[in-house]
Every structure is written in C-alpha cells, then in structure tokens.
Amino acid sequence: MKLTTALMGAAATLVLTPAAFADGHEGERGRDGQLNIIYWQAPSTLNPYLSGGTKEIESASMIVEPLARFNEVGEMVPWLAESIPTVENGGVAEDLTSITWTLKEGVLWSDGTPFTAEDAIFTWEYCTHPEGGCANINYFDGVTSMEAVDDRTLKITFDAPKPFPYTALVGSESPIIQKAQFENCIGAAAPTCTEQNFGPIGTGPFKVDEFKANDVIQLSANENFREAGKPAFATVLFKGGGDAAASARSVLETGEFDYAWNLQIDPQVLSDMEQVGIGTVAVAFATSVERLMVNQTNPDPALGDERATLAHPHPFLTDRAVGRAMSMAIDRSLLVEVGYGAGGQPTCNVLPAPEAYASTANDDCLTQDIEGAKQVLEDAGWTDTNGNGIRDKDGIELEVLYQTSTNAVRQDTQALIKQWWSEIGIETELRNIDASVFFGSDPGSPDTFQKFFADVEMYTNNFAGVDPEAYMARWLCSDIPSPENQWQGNNNQRFCDPAYDALVDEMSQTADLDRRAELAKQMNDMLMQSYSIIPLIHRGNPSAHANSLGGVKMNDWDSEIWNVKDWYRTE
Amino acid sequence: MFNFTIRRLILTIPTLLFISFVIFLIVKLSPSDPTGNLPLTIPAEVREQIREALGVNQPLIVQYLKWLQQFFWIEPLIYLENATGWDLGAGDATRLISYQTRSPVMDLIMQRMPQTLWVVGTAYVVGILIALPIGVISAYKQYSVFDQVGTFVSMVGFSVPPFFSGVVVIVLFSVIIPSDSFFWLPSIYDTTHRVTDWDSFVYQFRQMIMPVMVLALQITAQISRFTRASMLDNLNQDYVRTARAKGLRERTVVLLHVLRNSMIPVVTVIALGIPSIFGGAIITEQVFKVNGLGQLLILSIQGGDVPTVQTLTFIFAILIVLFNLIADILYGLLDPRIRYD
Amino acid sequence: MALDMKTEPLVRVQNLKMHFPIYGGLLQRKVGDVKAVDGISFDIYEGETLGLVGESGCGKSTVGRAVLRLYDITDGAIRIDGDDIATADAGKLRSMRPLMQMIFQDPQASLNPRMTVADIIAEPLREHVKMSKIEREDRVLELMDQVGLNKEFANRYPHEFSGGQRQRIGIARALALNPKFIVCDEPIAALDVSIQAQVVNLLEELQDRLGLTYLFISHDLSMVRHIADRVAVMYLGQIAELAPRAELYEAPLHPYTQALLSAVPEPDPNIEEQVERIILTGDVPSPSNPPQGCNFCTRCPQVMEICKTVEPQFQEVQPGRFVACHLHQIAENAASEAHKSIQQGEIT
C-alpha cells in the first residue's frame, strides 16, 4: 500500500510537469483530432444553473466560462477577466461592498458575436429569478445589483460588506451564459428551452454539436476561441453511463478513452489496472471530508415530535469523553487502505484545506489508541457494571445507532468502526439508507440525514471554491434542523455554542485573509474538540487519463477539466 | 375474432388508467427527492426553490391529472403537429418535462429508442434465430450429445447474469485481445455513430456484437428450452405417427407437422417478450454503455425524476397490455381450435 | 377363408422383437430395456382380418407400429407383399408406405389440428401420387364419400367434428393410397359405444369392397370376435395363443386365454350369474424384467414347476392352432418340426 501511495505521488507530480513544456506542443487549432472523455454519471443537461450536479457543471465547463477560475492549488486565476480585482488594485471597494471586473478584450461567443458585460448581468438575472429554480443561486447571495460601466467593465454591488467577493460569476458553478440565447428562457420558461439548455453558446474552447441527455455529448473546437492554437483537439466525445470500474477500464486497460472521471472504486482494482501501463491515475484533493456526525440531541422515538430537537440533549453523546473515545478508537489509516487507496488521506479536521486554513491542533487522532480510549471512558465514569460487555453509567448503556447511505465503501467503514467501538465497550447498531432517500429532503421521510433520527451518521461534505466562510457558518445555533424550519438546516449534529456563533460573525466582517484563516482554524478546532463531528477521511477525487494525453492538471477546486483548452496529444 | 379484438381493446382503457394511477402513486409516494443527488454544497433554500419550480409540491391529484392531460392530449397533439405541420394550438402548452434534464420526456424517449431497438431488438431476433434450430434439434435428438450440450448452454445462459457475462466478454475481447487485432471489440457503445458507408457499418456491427450476444445468450436459453419442450410434446403425438405412416419425408414430418404445431405456444411467448425489448436491458445497457431506455429508467429512478419514471413505466404497461392482446389474437390465428367469438 | 392357408401370406412376421432402451442415472446412460415385444411370429393372409388382443400394456400396439416400421425394430423379419420391411432403408420404406396404412386409436390426436380435412386426406396423395390439383380434389371428395363424410366439410378442421366423424377422416386418409394392408390400432376404443358399431361396420364394408387385409388390434374381445377371422392373444410381449376365431372362443387352450374369455360379460343375466370366472391374481410383471420360464407363470392358475424354469415353445398343437404353454407341449421333435414348418411357411 505504501508503495502504491508513493507511486501515486510520483504520478501526480508527473502530471504537473508537462505544463512547463506546453510551449513545445503548440500548433494550429484542432491538430490532435478527437479527445474521448468518459464520465460514468452522464450529464443530464448542459445548463449548470438547472442542475447543480458535478457531472453537469463539469461538462458545461468546456463550453461556458466564468470570470475567474481556481487552479489546481486553489488559487484564483483570471479567465474571462483581465485580472483579479483586489482592494489593493482598486478592483474591490474599500468598504467591501462592491467589486469591479474588467473583461478581456475581444472575447467572442462561439456564434461570433462579442461577449460583453451585459451577458454577465443577464446571467445574474437569469439565476436569481424566483421562479427559475436555479441550482447555483447561492453564488449570487448578497448581490444587489450588477451594472455595465461599459462593455468591458462590470460592477457588482453587495448589500453588505463582502470580505470574500469572489463567488458571483467565479468558478465552474457560475459561468456566464449568452444573453441573446437565453433571453426568452428566464423564470418559469427555463425548462421549456430544451434547445438552449442542451446546447448553450459559450466562450469556452469547445462548442456543442450534439447533446443526448444522460448519454453523450459531441463537441468540436470553437473557431472563435480567444487563444490562438487552442484547443489542440478538433472534437471531443464526452460519453456518460456505466459504472466507475468500467470507465476506469476503458482508459487504463482498453485505451478506448483518454480521460475518466471520479474513479471511486476498490483501490486495489484501480492500481492493478494502472499496472497495464497505458494510463495514469491522478488524484486531486479539495475540501471533501468523510465524517461522523455525532448527534447532540436525543433521537429516542419515545419523544414524539420533540425527537432529535434541542429540547432533549443526547443522554451520553453530549459527554465529550464519549465522543473523544469514539474518535480515538478509529484507525483512519486502515479505513483509507480498505476503502479509498490513493483517493483518501486520514484527517482530523473538518476543514482540511486549503492549506492556509488547515489546523494542526488535532493531529493526534491520526493514530489509533484503543487503550487510551478505554481509559478516557473509564475516567469519565463509564464502566461495564452489569457485565454485558457494554459500558454504562447511571443506568444508561453506551448503545449507538449508526446510519449512512448505501455504498460499499461506507458499509465496510461501518463494519470496521463497529468492531473498534465494541472493543472499547460501545455497542453499535448499523443501518444504511438509499442515497436518494438519505440525502433527499422529503420532510415526510424519517430517514433523511437532516432529521438524523440516529446517534451517529456518516457522509461526505465539502464546500465549493476556496473560501470556508459559508461552510463554517453551517454550525450556527440558528442553522439547526428542527420541525419549526421543516428540518431544513445544515447544522445536522445540532452543535450550539454562542462562542462559535460569535466567531462566525467576526469572520463575516473580516477581509484580512490571515485573520480569516486564523478564525477558520479556531472554529474548526472548537468543532473538533466538541467531538460533535469526528472527521475520518480527507477525500480526493481520483481520475484517470491516458499517458498519451498531456496538459492534464487535476483540480478539485474547480471543474476537473477546467483547463481542457490546454490539453494535447503527447505523440 | 374482430368483435373479440374490439371488446378487448375497449377493456384495456380502464385497465390502463388504473395502472397509470397505481404507478403514479407508487412512484410518488416512495421517498425520493429530485434534488437528493445534488451536491451537498447546494443549500436547502435553493433546493426548495428547485422543487417549487419543478412542481413537486403541488397536490397529488393535481399532479396526476396534469400528467394525464400531458400524456394523453398534449404530447400526441405536439407529435401530430410536428408530423403534419398543422397548427392545433398545442404550441404553448407545457409539455411533459423531466425533472433531471428539464427537457420533454417524450423527446428523451424518442432519442433513446433507436439504440435500444437496435441492440435489444437485434439481440431478440438473433436469440430467436439461434434458439429455434437448437430447440428443434435437441427435441428431435433428445438425450443426444447435442441435446446435452444445448441443455448445458441454456442453463448457463439462464443462470449467468449479464453483469458477469458482459464483463467477462469485455475482459476477453477488449482487454486481453490487443486493440489492433481483428478480433478486438469496443467495450463502449458509441451512440453517436452513424452508419453512412461500409466501414461505418462494419464498426456498428462490431460494437453491437458483444451487447447483442450477451443478451441473445439469455434469450436463446429461454426460447430454445421452450421450443424443445413444445417440440417434445408434439413429437409424441399420434398425428406425427400418422404423418410418418403417410410415408412423408422425415423433414416434412418434423418441419411441417411437428414444428408448425410446436410454434403455436412459442410464437405466443415470443410476442409476449416483445415489450421487454422496449423496456431495454437495464444491466446490459449499463455494462456496455448503450444508454438506451433501460438506462434512462434506472437513472430516472435514482434521480427521483417522477415524470420520466411514470411515463416510461406507463409506456411499458401499454406495450405489455397490447402484446398480451396480440399474443391472444395470434394464438387464435395459429390454432384453429381456438375461437374467441 | 381363414383356414385356407395354401396361399402365400400377405404379411409374415417372424421372431419380431421391439426393445425400448431405458435411460437413467446422472448421465442419462442406458440402464436396461423395456421388452415391449419379445419374439413373436404370425402370418396374415390376403383379405383376412387378424385380431390381436391383450391387456393394455401387453405390447399389442407396439406390434402394430413395429409391423409398419413406425419403429426401428430390434430384431426379427417382416415381409409384406413379398417385400422386406424390417431392413428397408428410409427411401425404400417410404415408397412402400402406400401399400400399408394405419388407423389410430385416438382420432383427435392422430389428426394434425392445424390442417383441414381436405389437406389431411390429400397429403399422402401429394407425396406419393402424381395427379393434378383437380384430380386430387376429386379423389379427396370421393374418399370422403366412401367413408360417409359430408363433402361440404372438406375445409373444416378436425376439432370441428365428432369422434366418430374424426375416425372416418382417419380411415379416409388411410385409404387414400389404395393400401392392401391396414393396421387398425384400437380404432374404436376412444369412441362412444353407439358409434363403435358404425365404424366397425364401415371397416368391414370397406374390406369387402376393396379386398383389404386388417391387423385389428383391440382389447375388446367381443368386438374382435365380431370382426376377426383369426385371433392372436398377447401377454407381456409374446403371443400366448393364436387360433381361428371359432376354435379360440369355443375352446381356448392357454390358461390366459381362458381367463380372458371368462371375464367377458354375458348379456343374459341368468347365464351371467352361473359363469365361473377365473380371477387372475397379482400384477402383470414389468416388461423390463419379465419372469424366468413362462411369461405367465407368476399369475397362471395352473402353474407347474417346469413353467418357472423353462420357456414354453410357441407351436402348432392342432392344425391352425398355435399355443405357447407347457400344458399343451407336444414331443420335442414334433414341436421343433412344427416350429420349423412355421418358420419356413410351409404348413400343409
């Protein structure tokens, strides 16, 4: 296992190097023929605002583009904008209530018409229309107006100081669509515009020739693309469907495809396939963390309507000693080895990246300590008084119900953790729920992760982009799901601490990046030390590409294929 | 027979309405959420807005009636308009829209139809063409080596699921055999491929071989067993002895007398199996990325896409009811002993 | 006529054996034989009717089918009208089919349900006779007329007819090629009693008119008495007794024949009460494992020690009367001579 990890690392560095020689691969547009990409989940539309799913957003990222993107290390790079506006260069107002972008000169849509600030404004109007059901509307949170100072200057005004103003029209989730094309598709009319949604006109390196929903996209090079000699490929076949193992096989074993996305399969199988030698697995890490949420409220069905609400604190999981022991008993490295391989790293933080925001205060959880965990419980008064192998105190037995979505890796993880917890005297009952039910938000279903009618639940969450402010604000007291808000809310483990709320508030008013990092770490540590969240794995996104494909820069901060314009054939 | 057909056709209307309602309830009442598969980074309010825009929160009965109107009135109208160029006033009506793709469900289905019919339909035809001779010969030479081998192959075909046999042939023909070899076959079906000349036809043929054969194995297994049993039934009948006593050639006896009579139940079974062609082959389509109707159905189920699931299952229901009727009529036509009036 | 044995027989069957293999075990290997017919011999003369009677399962239908080579026989010789049937190849056999025909027990099952009456009757004509379509149609109608079927029904399917009518179709079909020899395999067993007589009368009438020769297989002793000239009694794959009708019914020699005849109900209730029935005990042994010695020894009321070890010869004990029983065994020499003479067909 160690060896494979090392190989992966080596591979990852190799992936980065060709960029340096990119100049050697220049030539006329379309010189390298066809590029074959396989996403085993097929995109169902090419309008990222109508789906919000990764597969749609990433496939659309070849066609429509934002003002700026995040590169493979999470840094912002200007895309349709000339440069990144900051307070220093005067692009961002001193009071943080507005930002002014300057668009690149001479950018054309693939239909040959000029790209202007009006298109950007239209995009904002399109997504924020109340009847449109826009999936990425939160990227425009706080925007009160957008105005075109001139064709190439866009001013965005916010309702309050915005310390991190780089959400609207930044990143693959909020690209700019063409006003002329979508003008009549606003609001309730959005879904009726099939032709537009399936074939958006963009500024990106490729344009859509044919789109078959949930099946395949055929693209060809955009002859009006702003960079000369790019893209290197004349056409792209973007195929969807099947499963992760089969798409890995098509790149690593049969060589039918050049690039395969999201290969979360048995790590051993993946590395065996890689041994064939025609392709490489590359992993990008961003902010995804597989974590255990530890319910701070009592999910006992006997409580009726007040079940899992703040009115009834959990009988033993509010005891930090219990949570701490549960965390100490877990061998995260083994979980990685069994279920994630190169696609995961043990982590002790719910905010593991970007590096500036990652705390190191909790790293002792990286080594399993069963004896230590037992001692912690012992010291807190949890002993097995009745000899049934389960620790108890004051008549309360340490028995937990542990739920997650149905998924082979998660069930393996569940089984391992159950074993470790039983070693320290905690009895675990396992449960798994179909993903569409578990992550669904049907208020009538008792099985959603938000209702959390269990003691412990496991899933992965992350935040898009590089700024953790909104992510860390998930754990405000006011964001706890409850019957009053139809169980909508992000604070699923029902963590509530006024001190934490104060930090969230402070961060929302701080523009200084160092201070923001400090605050984020502080909040992360508070959460970690409450043991209401037990982070397990920092999950990466493994993808595979043919060895003959150059220019790939794995990126989990933006669309994986964010720089497809720079890809080329190596021989 | 005519009266019978008309009577049965009229009876299908309440049956289908009832089926549609049951399907609707099942699909609707099962806990699923069209936004459930979206990334968790999308906040709850946004999800709620999406659901609102999709009309998920309307009262059940309204949703059902709307679906009925769209399925039975607006969609046919639009197809009629497109076919004839008349303006029947359907232009502004809201079509049946899929939650996942936000595009008309019917268009999706029409788009998927060709590859499903090509692959699954061809497999069905190939399966039957292989099955009939195997069934006839195994029955005629019961307990011979041929029969034993046939029984074994059928058993394998019955019991080996396509997600296994499919992957085995992929590993054999796409991985182990080098891609420059004549015997190499593509493991991923290219739905955008167009047959325009001989070479593209050859490619189409090659990419169909594996999915078609994997599916045909199952169909062959089923139909050949059925044919064999039916042949054996008839081979021991007195009229076969009569035919032999008449001094007919053995070939005439088997092909004309025995086979024709044995085909009565086989033809019925074949007719009853036709709706399953349209149902697609969920697993095989998935293994070879054919992305036909079966894959559309499974993705829609996973994505909580109620209109698509509802429409697809209902179309299957129509086909099943229809082909049951056709099977009955065929039976009547083939077997003079059956009369429906 | 029956006793006029000077002429060459039309049908001569010698030592006919028909064994069916039994498959068993995991690999469906052959594990034994059902000896359905185990060495029987008889002659049928032109224009006569030989009745073949026996309990169900004794192999009489198999004899009928084997004689026409509807089975590939295990051993023995069959000659019909001077031609060897037993060894003829498929082509030869087919060309001989017009000579010999069969009428089956179940008229429903023996007619192809998907063919019209006209097709059924015309098919052998099409196969064996060169004639125009119109000639063929005429011939079909003529045949239907001959067996008493309404010509209007030519285009109907078999299931639209009653049992008796169906049997008439079967007979018409058998007559189509002007055969000399017809095997009637329980032709009336599946019919109502009221219809049975009609069909039997039709068969007799046709025999008179067309000079047919019948092998009439039946389990109905009284019907056989009515139609047959000579009668053969079968038990467990072998012929127990063969004799002219009158002698056999008057004075049966074989204990099995005696038992069979005693079971025939008497129409007169007074006599019926006085009849002393011979009740056979036990079951018929399995033809796959027949008893040693005499086939009948397990059930014979007059069984002797010898019966259990030595198989009795089938020999002519009186002129024209053959029996296989130790009670009637004549001296070894005479027996073998008589047997030989049968073999050579030179009985004088």
Q: Do β-strands A344-346 and A533-546 pair in parallel, antiparallel, or remain unpaired? A: antiparallel
Q: Is residue B68 helix, strand or coil? A: helix
Cis check: omega of the bond before A231, within 30 degrees of 0 = yes
CB contact under 8 A, A44 and B303: yes
The token duo for B160 is 């080996």
Last residue of a domain, one of B46, B69, B98: B98
Q: Which chain B residue shows the shortest CA-CA distance from A192?
A: B103
C227 is in which domain, residue-wise? 11-256
Structural domain contains residue C105:
yes
**Touch between chain C and chain A (3+ CB pairs, < 8 Å)?**
no
CB contact under 8 A, B35 and A440: yes
Chain segment A111-150, per-residue pLDDT in tens: 999 999 999 999 999 999 888 778 888 889 889 999 999 9
Last residue of a domain, one of B98, B122, B139: B98
Chain segment A60-81, per-residue pLDDT in tens: 999 999 999 998 888 889 999 9
Half-sphere exposure of A45 (CA within 13 A, CB side): 25
Chain A residues with CB-CB distance to B299 below 8 A: 42, 44, 214
Return the pLDDT at C318.
Answer: 87
pLDDT of B280 above 80:
no
Neighbours of B161 (CB within 10 A): 12
Interface with A, mutate which of B48, B56, B291, B298 (most A CBs under 10 A): B291
Chain segment B158-208, per-residue pLDDT in tens: 888 888 888 899 888 988 888 788 888 888 888 888 888 899 999 999 999
Neighbours of B247 (CB within 10 A): 22
Chain C residues with CB-CB distance to B143 below 8 A: 23, 28
**Is residue B245 within 8 angstroms of chain C, CB to CB?**
yes
DSSP C297-326: TTT-TT--TGGGTSPPP-EEEETTEEE--G
DSSP E strand boundaries for B47-128: none
Return the pLDDT at A378.
Answer: 93
Chain segment A491-538, per-residue pLDDT in tens: 999 999 999 999 999 988 887 778 889 999 999 999 999 999 999 999
Chain segment C44-58, per-residue pLDDT in tens: 999 999 999 988 888
**Touch between chain B and chain C (3+ CB pairs, < 8 Å)?**
yes
pLDDT of A9 above 60:
no
Neighbours of C283 (CB within 10 A): 8
Chain segment C251-293, per-residue pLDDT in tens: 899 999 998 888 877 777 777 677 677 788 778 888 888 888 8
Residues B253 and B177 in one domain: yes
CB contact under 8 A, B44 and A464: no
Residues B59 and B118 in one domain: no
Chain segment A10-55, per-residue pLDDT in tens: 444 444 444 444 445 778 888 899 999 999 888 888 998 887 788 8
**Dihedral sign, Cα of residue B181, residue B184, residue B190, residue B195:** positive
Return the pLDDT at C332.
Answer: 52
Residues B55 and B185 in one domain: no
Average pLDDT over residues A186-190: 83
Write the CB contacts of B255 (distance below 8 Å, at least 6 apart in sequence).
none
**Angle, CA of A52, A53 and A54, to the nearest 5°:** 120
Chain B residues with CB-CB distance to C111 below 8 A: 239, 242
Chain B residues with CB-CB distance to A133 below 8 A: 49-54
**What's the count of helices (H) and strands (E) in chain A, helices before strands?**
15, 20
SS (H, E, C) C177-202: CCCCEEEEECCCCCCCHHHHHHHHHH
CB contact under 8 A, B239 and C70: no
In this structure, CATH architecture of domain A5-284+542-569: 3-Layer(aba) Sandwich (3.40)
* Mean pLDDT, chain A, whole residue set: 88
Return the pLDDT at A537.
Answer: 94
Q: How close does chain B come to A384, measured CA to CA in Å?
A: 39
CB contact under 8 A, B238 and C106: yes
Structural domain contains residue B157:
yes
Q: How close does chain B come to A7, measured CA to CA in Å?
A: 23
- Record the pTM: 0.74
**Angle, CA of A513, A517 and A518, to the nearest 5°:** 120
Write the CB contacts of C13 (distance below 8 Å, at least 6 apart in sequence).
C40, C41, C42, C43, C63, C67, C76, C77, C78
Write the CB contacts of C90 (distance below 8 Å, at least 6 apart in sequence).
B250
Structural domain contains residue B257:
yes
B255 is in which domain, residue-wise? 112-334
Structural domain contains residue B267:
yes
Return the pLDDT at A15.
Answer: 42
Please state, in angstroms and rounded to a whole number, the distance separating the CA atoms of residues A504 and A520: 9
Residues B241 and B182 in one domain: yes
Half-sphere exposure of B295 (CA within 13 A, CB side): 32
Please state, in angstroms and rounded to a whole number, the distance separating the CA atoms of residues A476 and A460: 19
Is there a contact between B284 and B215 (Cβ–Cβ < 8 Å)? yes
Q: Which chain A residue shows the shortest CA-CA distance from B39?
A: A53
Confidence category of residue B278, pLDDT binned at 50, 70, 90: confident
Q: What is the dihedral of CA C164, C165, C167, C173, to 10 degrees?
A: 170
**Domain of C44: which CATH number?**
3.40.50.300
Structural domain contains residue C328:
no
Chain A residues with CB-CB distance to B175 below 8 A: 249, 253-254
Structural domain contains residue C250:
yes
Chain A residues with CB-CB distance to B170 below 8 A: 246, 249, 254
Write the CB contacts of C157 (distance below 8 Å, at least 6 apart in sequence).
B336, B337, C113, C114, C115, C116, C117
Chain segment B219-264, per-residue pLDDT in tens: 888 899 899 999 998 888 888 888 888 888 888 888 888 888 888 8
Residues B70 and B178 in one domain: no
**Is residue B45 within 8 angstroms of chain A, CB to CB?**
yes
Residues B172 and B287 in one domain: yes
Structural domain contains residue B26:
no
Please state, in angstroms and rounded to a whole number, the distance separating the CA atoms of residues B202 and C72: 50
Return the pLDDT at C7.
Answer: 67
Interface with B, mutate which of C20, C70, C110, C125 (most B CBs under 10 A): C110
Count of the separate structural domains present in chain C: 1
Last residue of a domain, one of B46, B72, B98: B98
Q: How close does chain B come to C333, measured CA to CA in Å?
A: 42
Residues B209 and B298 in one domain: yes
Structural domain contains residue C203:
yes
ipTM value of the model? 0.78
Nearest to A466 by CA among A170, A176, A204, A174: A170
Write down the domain spans for chain A: 5-284+542-569, 285-467+533-540
Q: Do β-strands A456-461 and A279-294 pair in parallel, antiparallel, or remain unpaired? A: antiparallel
> Looking at chain B from residue 160 to 189, which residues have their Cβ under 8 Å from any Cβ of chain A?
167, 170, 174-175, 179, 186-188
Q: Which residues of chain C have pLDDT under 70?
A: 1-7, 272, 275, 330-348
The token duo for B47 is 């999800």
Please state, in angstroms and rounded to a whole number, the distance separating the CA atoms of residues B312 and B326: 21
CB contact under 8 A, B49 and A436: no
Confidence category of residue A403, pLDDT binned at 50, 70, 90: very high
Structural domain contains residue C307:
no
Please state, in angstroms and rounded to a whole number, the distance separating the CA atoms of residues A288 and A269: 23
DSSP E strand boundaries for A152-199: 153-158
CB contact under 8 A, B32 and A188: no
Please state, in angstroms and rounded to a whole number, the distance separating the CA atoms of residues A115 and B118: 43
The more confidently predicted of residues C222 and A456 is A456
Return the pLDDT at A21.
Answer: 44
CB contact under 8 A, B237 and C90: no
pLDDT of A386 above 60:
yes
pLDDT of B314 above 50:
yes
Residues B57 and B122 in one domain: no
Across the interface, which of B242, B252, B264 has its CB nearest the CB of C111?
B242
Structural domain contains residue B14:
no
Average pLDDT over residues B1-20: 87
Q: Which chain B residue shows the shortest CA-CA distance from C111?
A: B239
Q: Which chain B residue shows the shortest CA-CA distance from C172?
A: B246
Interface with B, mutate which of A214, A218, A405, A490 (most B CBs under 10 A): A214
Nearest to C247 by CA among C310, C316, C312: C316
Return the pLDDT at C289.
Answer: 84
**What's the count of helices (H) and strands (E) in chain C, helices before strands?**
11, 12
CATH of domain A285-467+533-540: 3.10.105.10
Across the interface, which of B148, B239, B261 has its CB nearest the CB of C110?
B239
- List of chains touching B (3+ CB pairs within 8 A): A, C
CB contact under 8 A, B257 and C112: yes
Structural domain contains residue B241:
yes
Residues B189 and B314 in one domain: yes
Structural domain contains residue B158:
yes
Is there a contact between B308 and B99 (Cβ–Cβ < 8 Å)? yes
Across the interface, which of C93, C95, C112 has its CB nearest the CB of B239?
C112
**Is residue C105 within 8 angstroms of chain B, CB to CB?**
yes
